[in-house]
Structure 1
């Protein structure tokens, strides 16, 4: 499906923020007709991943520094709520899934995986926590937040921003995971909120670099085979 393919290329950074999405080009590369591409881009615009500007057409959404910072505040609220509810409601099987996902995050750090893989491992941990809330509405909200976070991370990777990791980051989820295990709702909520706030503090330098790139009008192109050669930056 064209929607899934284009969406995945945006999420993994192959179609980077600012890249122009030309219907005929995408149709040729994906081996489909233009009509499914038109529908896919409308759906992606609804998802907040694509913008459509009169005279320019569709482009992969570019995130302003203010939007990135706002996303952290939104994440802090919802992740704190998820941790609190998970501490109250998780089953033994869900706790085991959280532990496995947490171990994968630490393993990713120990293996010095690339930033994209590390972010994906972290998102899987948060997905495991949200599933432990037994709250479908919160799962839907978090899915959208996760998509936005992955897109922003892809933006940073495209700009070759160095990973802001250190020994403390490897175990940054420990207080939250242990509070969930102990069913300490207040501690889990606080740990989750502080985790996101700490991430924002560590990434402010990255956000400033994004801002500087935007002010310079840096052209950021996707690297998907056949697409970057025939699309331009909006």
Structure 2
């Protein structure tokens, strides 16, 4: 972890810089599930005070990317089957509603189109964090295109945990082009105004991701997702 020896860039505070650095470490898998944040060591590596570090960790705990537990301190969470199922339940509820709205208008959000183009441009040597970012941007664009402040706000509240799930899907995709292909398949019926097909493909997309995550947990079978776990 590189020390923050230079002043915060772009007007960001030291806390913002520490949040960004820790976030990227978690999302890139440098700090893996279960990794504990040792305050003295982390503050020294980041080149910030322990007060600044604690403020940064509080933000990431609030986002769901870190967890604080008595007698264990702050650590990267280890997702349980219940965590994964709950995150995908929220995703299904919100994304199906957004998909219904945009497909009924045959409207392809420009930000979703741009995210898809960025995914398709990635080479096999691209970092997984790039794939995750464009995947996140694609789904967020569909959510925001529904035009509901409350849907967007609710989605934003769980977005960090959604991204944390995406990070752990890396072993299930050999190449970024696979991810891009799935997202192009999602967008085509939206452009055609085919609501039923768009929602069916979204359902498959979310079910497959949830099933892969659950299947990677010790003692959980890959096919253990309930048929009624998403709508």
Residues 161-196 of structure 1: CA distance to partner in whole angstroms, max 9, x if unpaired?
352679876532344312322334444333322321
Q: Which residue of 2 aligns with 1:163?
A: 173
1:98 is the counterpart of 2:112? yes
Q: Which residue of 2 aligns with 1:4?
A: 20
- 2:99–2:199 contact (8 Å) kept in structure 1: yes
One of 185, 209, 221 as aligned partner of 2:216: 209
Higher relative contact order (CA 8 A, sep 6+): 1
Measured after TM superposition, the shift of residue 73 of structure 1 is 2.8
TM-score norm. by structure 2 comes to 0.72
Write the mapping of 1:77-88 to structure 2, written as runs, cut at 5 A.
Answer: 77-88=93-104
Residues paired across the two proteins, number: 204
Structure 1 runs not aligned, ≥5 long? 214-234
Q: Which residue of 2 aligns with 1:143?
A: 156
Q: For the structure 1 residues 155 and 87, does the alpha-carbon distance in structure 2 shift closer, same or farther, using more than 3 Å as the test?
A: closer
Q: CA RMSD in A?
A: 3.1
TM-score norm. by structure 1 comes to 0.71
Specify the SS of the correspondent of 2:218. helix
Q: Which residue of 1 aligns with 2:203?
A: 193
Q: For the structure 1 residues 54 and 99, does the alpha-carbon distance in structure 2 shift closer, same or farther, using more than 3 Å as the test?
A: closer
Q: Which residue of 2 aligns with 1:127?
A: 140
Residues 189-234 of structure 1: CA distance to partner in whole angstroms, max 9, x if unpaired?
3332232123334x1xx53333269xxxxxxxxxxxxxxxxxxxxx
User: For the residues of structure 1 that align with 2:103 and 2:97, how far apart are their CA atoms?
Assistant: 10
Measured after TM superposition, the shift of residue 111 of structure 1 is 4.0
Q: Which residue of 1 aligns with 2:8?
A: none
Q: Which residue of 2 aligns with 1:176?
A: 186
Q: For the structure 1 residues 90 and 10, does the alpha-carbon distance in structure 2 shift closer, same or farther, using more than 3 Å as the test?
A: farther
Structure 2 runs not aligned, ≥5 long? 1-14, 221-231
User: For the residues of structure 2 that align with 1:200 and 1:173, how far apart are their CA atoms?
Assistant: 16
Q: Which residue of 1 aligns with 2:54?
A: 38
Q: For the structure 1 residues 80 and 27, does the alpha-carbon distance in structure 2 shift closer, same or farther, using more than 3 Å as the test?
A: same
